Structure 1
Amino acid sequence: MASVKVESTVIILDIGRNVSEPEEKDGKSFFELARECTIRIIERKILSQGHNLLGIILLGSKNTKNNLATSGCCKYIETYADLQYPTWQMIRDLPDKPSKARGNWFDALLVAADNFKTEISAIKPINKQIILMTNFLKPSHVDGSEVDLALSGLQEEGIQVDIIGLNVYSNENKNEDIEYAKKILEGTNGVSVTFEFTMRYLLFHKKKAVVPMNWNVDLNIGPSIKIPVSSYIRLKDEPIVKKWIKAIKDPVTNNISSTEYIAKNKFLFNTENKTVVDKDKKIKGYQYGEQVIPFPDCDSAMLYDSGQRSLSVYGFTKASNITWQCLNGDGLSYVFGRKGDKKAQNAIRCLVECLHELNLVGIVRRVYNKGNAPKMFALMPVIDPDNFFCLSMIGICYKEEIKNMSFPATDIKKYACSDEQVNAFVDFIKSMDLMQAYEESDFDETEAFPIAKMVSPSAQYVLDCIAFRALNPGKPLPQPRDDITMLFKVPPLVEKRSKQSLEKLKSLFVLNKVEIKREKKTMDIDQIHCASICETFDTDMENIPKIDLNAFKKPDIRIKKIGTQNPIDDFDSLKKDGISMKDLTAQITAVIESMIYGNIDGNFTKPMEVMLHFRQECIKSEPSHYNNWLKNFRMELIDRKRDNIIKMIDEKELNYIIKSENSLSNIESDSYDDSQLYENDTVPNLTEVTIKSEVNDLFDNM
């Protein structure tokens, strides 16, 4: 634990009577604003998933509970939570109402400093921070010497003190305690900010700050040039929350159960014979189309070996050849010369300058580690104005991954624009400039949607939902808050500025609505006659003209092809229509093969019934249609290793049509061997040739 670098923070939250009065600005008291800010800080530290130790001290509590209270001082100060990793329970147990007691903020500062000594003595945190939230309306009754003594102790321990909720440097806030607090801030390099500024900083969740890990490798250029380089990930698509801990909630205690857990069973199931396969009998395989190619462990030596980690340059090409369609977008890395190696850094700088001057891009093959598949990347030069030289590395798509889309030409007379229309678009683009999207008085920066500073709205909403569900397990998830929906809106200044230009564009580009012409339904003579009768309808039943119902014939719906839904009925219907048996054979056999080869559930009842019907029809007419097809079908089943289908054909007596069933058949009743169906089912006589002994020796060596 001593080697783990952690951040430690102690929050001093004033809940006394001096912070209970609501302010005139927004109707909220100092206590309510401090509590909301504390909750937001705890949420940020939990969702960042970092090594953050957090402690909370309640100032002005009705209970006195701290390590320094044994000497009779530091009253009304409660150590609410010792330094530990933050939890949702900290937020749930925070007091929701202020107390009637008042505590001394200076004593609370000493209690917080004591926590760093007693709670994390075995840990060396990278920083120690105390956040003080009070309005300094309760006098501390300390003198300057005590403040100097406390300040020297804070400096010796390396503790930084920050004040949130009150700007001690403002002219509106002045008293003796604020002057002492200002002295402590300046001595510990602390800051003093308001709740409004802090909540704006905590408006969105941020990722956990991590130290970038370098990937060390040699950049190979040709057979003899090797440059030691280090690659760092600049951008990478990652899930919002990487690790989810699944647990069962105990309905009695409403907490995570320590005895219940989620059990998962995995088994292998054979869909053909509806049986469970033992794991010991499992053989790894790869599926190509409808056929599965087994790949046992003994063939593992045949696997492709990408080799050791490497970064090899295959060549250079013009930068214009690498368009955005060629990039796969999996992430971006920066390649630098190895740290501490001046020669490598100079070589990379020379390579960057050459690529930039010649307008070239390098194509490299990267193997991240042994056992990983190789990938192709593009190396592009990056030159920063501050003398910053490196190579950006981004993945390249393969040919089958690129989708080319063709668009019609627009440089024709039909689409030509006038100068007035072009200038109108230029003015419209200038009016929508995002670099001046806000008034300077509203925000620190006037740029809207700055690159590398924008947060993901979906990620923010997911993290908000996680925090809401942790604190409200039984309530429905809320809608996205206004701060997130604002990310989807056009900045007001841009919208106001572009309104006039947009109206001008509408007047210059008149858009005509295209109406889709639909075919008019025509009425035949009988329908027109019936319509005229309905128009001259009389209530006298005797005068109603008689309508010939035979005149309204139903449309002639005929089956044109045998389908897989009702193949037997389709076969019979087409046979009645006079379709020859030869044409019907081609259709029904295709249907049978489709229902067998494309079967998923393993139920072959329907194709067997169709096959039986086809056999019976061939017994009545020409048996060769069935026999010739069955001969080829059985051979195909053997090649596909569908022994179960062959077994079903034999069991249901769907074999060849024999002479006893139809005299036109050439198959005897005592034999169903497939070899009798072949005309040349004998081993051909091969011409004997003399092979030299050298050739035989060659094959023996192979």
Structure 2
Amino acid sequence: MAPSKIDNGTVIIIDIGKNVSDPEEKNGKSFFEKARECAIRIIERKVISQGKNLLGIILLGSKKTKNNLSESGSCRHIEVHSDLQYPTWQMIRDLPDKPSKSKGNWFDALLVAVDHFKSGVTALKIVNKQIMLMTNFLEPSDVETSELEQAVCGFREEGFQVDIIGPDIYDDENKNSEFELAKQFVEGTNGVTATFEFTMRYLLFHKKKAVNATPWNVDLSIGPNIKIPISTYIRIKDESVIKKWTTAIKDPVTNSKSNTEYIEKSKVFINTENQMVVDPDKNIKGYIYGQQVIPFTDFDKGMLYDSGPKSLTVYGFTKASNITWQCLNGDGLSYVFGRKGDKKAQYAVRCLVECLLELKLVGIVRRVYNNGNAPKMYALMPVIDSDNYVCLSMIGICFKEEIKNMAFPNTELKKYACTDDQVNAFKELIKNMDLTKAYEDTEFDDTEAFPIAKMVSPSAQYVLDCIAFRAMNPDQPLPPPRDDITMLFKVPPLIEKRRKHQLDKLKSLFVLNKVEIKKRAKTKTNQAMDIDQFDKPSTSTTYAAAMDNLPIIDINSVKKSGPITKIGMQNAINDFDALKRDGIDIKDLVPQMIETIESMVYGNIDGNFSKALDVISHFRNECVNTVPSHYNNWLKNFRVELIDRSRNDIISMVNEKKLNYILKSENSLSNMECDTFDESQLYENDTVPELTEVTISSEVNDLFDNM
């Protein structure tokens, strides 16, 4: 029987000898501490990814000598610490905390790792064999050139890849003869080398387990005769962070966990009337419809809707503009390709994609995933990537009852109009907050912040961090999110710096005045009068003395104010007539009149709107004799504002005073033929849903009455 295959196998060689015990810098970490942290992060990532990859650990410079090659007297102080197996948390717990005082040969450690691959697992065939070496190469290997070349050739033929993590072996400033030997292993086996800083930055975040995509194979049916074999692959899907949880019961006595022991659960049915246990065979399932329980027997199951076998049927094609983002739903996106190995199917899909793109159309399809599954509607949209592929993207679309239509008032009003300076200021703000240029060129390799399809989920990363922490610290409280995760929520410093000046400019262009709602003054309640205080003349004497000291003003001697230049709220009608007599056109007086009326209405405190209504009546009479559209357009917007402010009382007053629209019968220039107020005229956009009249038969109504 042929051995089963394993995709990847990794052996980590960690140097724990005396040569890695001293700190590299003052008050810094030693090479051993950095190597241990890096190894912990690698093991942790492999455990959480739940991949079927084997992992082994070899300690270089150990006090013990534990390997198969040590029987001949070589390969001393090299310990096979962990056999090739699936990674576990115990591997992290078993790593040594302190370096030893021994020294080992890194070249012998590579030979031990190769032997461990061959003899460690015999029933499995490992496809990709990786050896990670973590040492500072301060201990000489004492290997000859011919022996080294023979070893590199053997590593390459056996399919091994040697990666060196820790020192920068290509650094010209720190030249070492051992570095030249290590380069031959890296270059001869197509390996890689990286420093601890770069490796830890690469391991900052957890990644999903790499799995081969499983296609959903079906025939794409177009009409009764066309069937194209296609394969659908999931491109994006909303998934939980951890899919499978292993339930374990902790014994409080032995403080151990068991996966075989569990809490026994039982389910019983109890009659609420007599509190008796009912036999499950005598139960009939039902569904609650309102306050009524509708029984659902096995006979009713035969009457259920049958969606049919799995299928993907095209119902028709529609304009791409009809499919907006409001119509899309579902939990992911899929790509549709022609069936692998079927060139005719691939050519047909490509032809369909090009036709849809040229005609600006999308397909509407009905999808049944498998027998017994409910059908769903999807949209097929063309996708052409010149470098990679040509396919169809498939995403779910909503049914009519799932779409909520909302009506919004018209915003094309004069008071909402913006100046050119305000518009340009917002454009500059958007330009300064461009996330594609969020970092300096020398700060990061990529200047884009929060790139699409590359950002990790902060919540998912924190959940995985909590799992790793709980595995290593079962009795301690969970830590807060680390700084690397909280950085994902912060605005890039360069964006923060660039937007500050532009925001100050916007504040100067958009002057916002705080609106204070004045409360109506409370009327004073009558208080009880003290008879003893009533006879005291002090109050009247003081009041009389104050009145005597007031200066006498002759009203006739007061000079009249200058000419009227603006319509005021004190005497709006007279001001309007005076400005009109001065020769000012009514179209120039209309904005002032509108501003005055709205100020009198919105700024009213005492609740008496008689003066404002008189001004509205005078404004209407003037527009009846001149241009009716001035009054009609203003009244239309005025009603919208009153409805938004919930001031239906003012609308009622306007209707009672018969101050509605100027009709065509009053002035032929008017476009109003009916004076009744229709709220649907307030909105000029097409957001009000159309209602379809449904006729329900009397038999259905009788059925609900009987229920």
Q: Shorter-chain TM-score: what band?
A: 0.7 to 0.9
- 1:543-578 CA-to-partner distances (Å, cap 9, x unmatched) read xxxxxxxxxxxxxxxxxxxxxxxxxxxxxxxxxxxx
Distance in 1 (CA, whole Å) between partners of 2:406 and 2:224 is 40
User: Structure 2 length normalisation: TM-score?
Assistant: 0.73
Aligned to 2:514: 513
Measured at CA, do residues 267 and 6 of structure 1 come closer, stay the same or move farther in structure 2, by a change above 3 Å? farther
- 1:601-638 CA-to-partner distances (Å, cap 9, x unmatched) read xxxxxxxxxxxxxxxxxxxxxxxxxxxxxxxxxxx9x9
Aligned to 2:127: 126
Aligned to 2:213: 212
Measured at CA, do residues 512 and 11 of structure 1 come closer, stay the same or move farther in structure 2, by a change above 3 Å? same
- 1:401-451 CA-to-partner distances (Å, cap 9, x unmatched) read 222233332221110000000000011000011111111222111111111
Give the 3-state SS of the residue equivalent to 1:126 in structure 2.
strand
Amino acid at match of 1:384: D
Give the 3-state SS of the residue equivalent to 1:125 in structure 2.
strand
- 1:1-25 CA-to-partner distances (Å, cap 9, x unmatched) read 9334331100001111111111217
- 1:633-681 CA-to-partner distances (Å, cap 9, x unmatched) read xxx9x977xxxxxxxxxxxxxxxxxxxxxxxxxxxxxxxxxxxxxxxxx
Give the 3-state SS of the residue equivalent to 1:151 in structure 2.
helix
Corresponding position: 1:529 with 2:489: no
Give the 3-state SS of the residue equivalent to 2:229 in structure 1.
strand
Aligned to 2:60: 59
How far did residue 518 of structure 1 move? Answer: 4.7
Which stretch shows the higher mean deviation, 454-463 or 68-77? 68-77
Which consecutive unaligned segments of at least 5 residues does structure 1 have?
A: 537-635, 641-702
After TM superposition, the structure 1 = structure 2 runs for residues 108-257 of structure 1, keeping only pairs within 5 Å, are 108-257=109-258
Distance in 1 (CA, whole Å) between partners of 2:155 and 2:257 is 40
Distance in 2 (CA, whole Å) between partners of 1:519 and 1:306 is 66
After TM superposition, the structure 1 = structure 2 runs for residues 9-20 of structure 1, keeping only pairs within 5 Å, are 9-20=10-21
Distance in 2 (CA, whole Å) between partners of 1:485 and 1:25 is 30
Amino acid at match of 2:337: F
Aligned to 1:421: 422
Aligned to 1:406: 407
Amino acid at match of 1:128: K
Measured at CA, do residues 35 and 484 of structure 1 come closer, stay the same or move farther in structure 2, by a change above 3 Å? same
How far did residue 253 of structure 1 move? Answer: 4.3
Measured at CA, do residues 100 and 341 of structure 1 come closer, stay the same or move farther in structure 2, by a change above 3 Å? same
Give the 3-state SS of the residue equivalent to 1:6 in structure 2.
strand
How far did residue 258 of structure 1 move? Answer: 5.6
How far did residue 317 of structure 1 move? Answer: 1.1
Aligned to 2:562: none
Give the 3-state SS of the residue equivalent to 1:529 in structure 2.
coil
Aligned to 2:81: 80
Measured at CA, do residues 79 and 251 of structure 1 come closer, stay the same or move farther in structure 2, by a change above 3 Å? farther
After TM superposition, the structure 1 = structure 2 runs for residues 548-697 of structure 1, keeping only pairs within 5 Å, are none
- 1:436-490 CA-to-partner distances (Å, cap 9, x unmatched) read 1111222111111111100000000000000000001111111111110111111
Amino acid at match of 1:349: R
How far did residue 517 of structure 1 move? Answer: 4.4
Measured at CA, do residues 115 and 517 of structure 1 come closer, stay the same or move farther in structure 2, by a change above 3 Å? farther
How far did residue 194 of structure 1 move? Answer: 0.3
Amino acid at match of 2:62: S
Amino acid at match of 2:36: R
Corresponding position: 1:370 with 2:358: no
Measured at CA, do residues 147 and 255 of structure 1 come closer, stay the same or move farther in structure 2, by a change above 3 Å? farther
Aligned to 1:266: 267
> Is the 2:365–2:378 Cα contact (8 Å) retained in structure 1?
yes
Amino acid at match of 1:471: M
Which stretch shows the higher mean deviation, 402-411 or 286-295? 402-411
Amino acid at match of 2:511: V
What fraction of aligned residue pairs are identical, expressed as a percent? 72
Measured at CA, do residues 64 and 272 of structure 1 come closer, stay the same or move farther in structure 2, by a change above 3 Å? same
Which consecutive unaligned segments of at least 5 residues does structure 2 have?
A: 535-702
> Is the 1:247–1:261 Cα contact (8 Å) retained in structure 2?
yes
After TM superposition, the structure 1 = structure 2 runs for residues 448-463 of structure 1, keeping only pairs within 5 Å, are 448-463=449-464
How far did residue 125 of structure 1 move? Answer: 2.1
Give the 3-state SS of the residue equivalent to 2:75 in structure 1.
coil
Measured at CA, do residues 520 and 283 of structure 1 come closer, stay the same or move farther in structure 2, by a change above 3 Å? farther
Which stretch shows the higher mean deviation, 84-93 or 256-265? 256-265
> Is the 1:8–1:127 Cα contact (8 Å) retained in structure 2?
yes
Amino acid at match of 2:201: R
Which stretch shows the higher mean deviation, 155-164 or 383-392? 383-392
Measured at CA, do residues 377 and 72 of structure 1 come closer, stay the same or move farther in structure 2, by a change above 3 Å? same
Measured at CA, do residues 124 and 29 of structure 1 come closer, stay the same or move farther in structure 2, by a change above 3 Å? same
Corresponding position: 1:308 with 2:309: yes
> Is the 1:15–1:60 Cα contact (8 Å) retained in structure 2?
yes
Amino acid at match of 2:24: E
Distance in 2 (CA, whole Å) between partners of 1:282 and 1:153 is 72
How far did residue 175 of structure 1 move? Answer: 2.0
Measured at CA, do residues 508 and 258 of structure 1 come closer, stay the same or move farther in structure 2, by a change above 3 Å? closer
User: Structure 1 length normalisation: TM-score?
Assistant: 0.74
Pairs aligned (count): 536
Give the 3-state SS of the residue equivalent to 2:317 in structure 1.
strand
How far did residue 252 of structure 1 move? Answer: 4.4
Measured at CA, do residues 3 and 515 of structure 1 come closer, stay the same or move farther in structure 2, by a change above 3 Å? farther
Amino acid at match of 2:45: R
Aligned to 1:601: none
Measured at CA, do residues 23 and 529 of structure 1 come closer, stay the same or move farther in structure 2, by a change above 3 Å? farther
How far did residue 294 of structure 1 move? Answer: 1.6
How far did residue 301 of structure 1 move? Answer: 1.6
Distance in 1 (CA, whole Å) between partners of 2:517 and 2:23 is 65
> Is the 1:247–1:262 Cα contact (8 Å) retained in structure 2?
no
Aligned to 1:556: none
> Is the 1:232–1:333 Cα contact (8 Å) retained in structure 2?
yes
Instruction: Give the superposed CA RMSD.
Output: 2.2
How far did residue 271 of structure 1 move? Answer: 3.4
How far did residue 263 of structure 1 move? Answer: 2.4
Amino acid at match of 2:135: T
> Is the 2:247–2:259 Cα contact (8 Å) retained in structure 1?
no
Aligned to 1:105: 106
Tell me which stretches of 4 or more aligned residues in structure 1 moved more than 4 Å.
516-523
Aligned to 1:469: 470
How far did residue 26 of structure 1 move? Answer: 6.7
Amino acid at match of 2:528: H
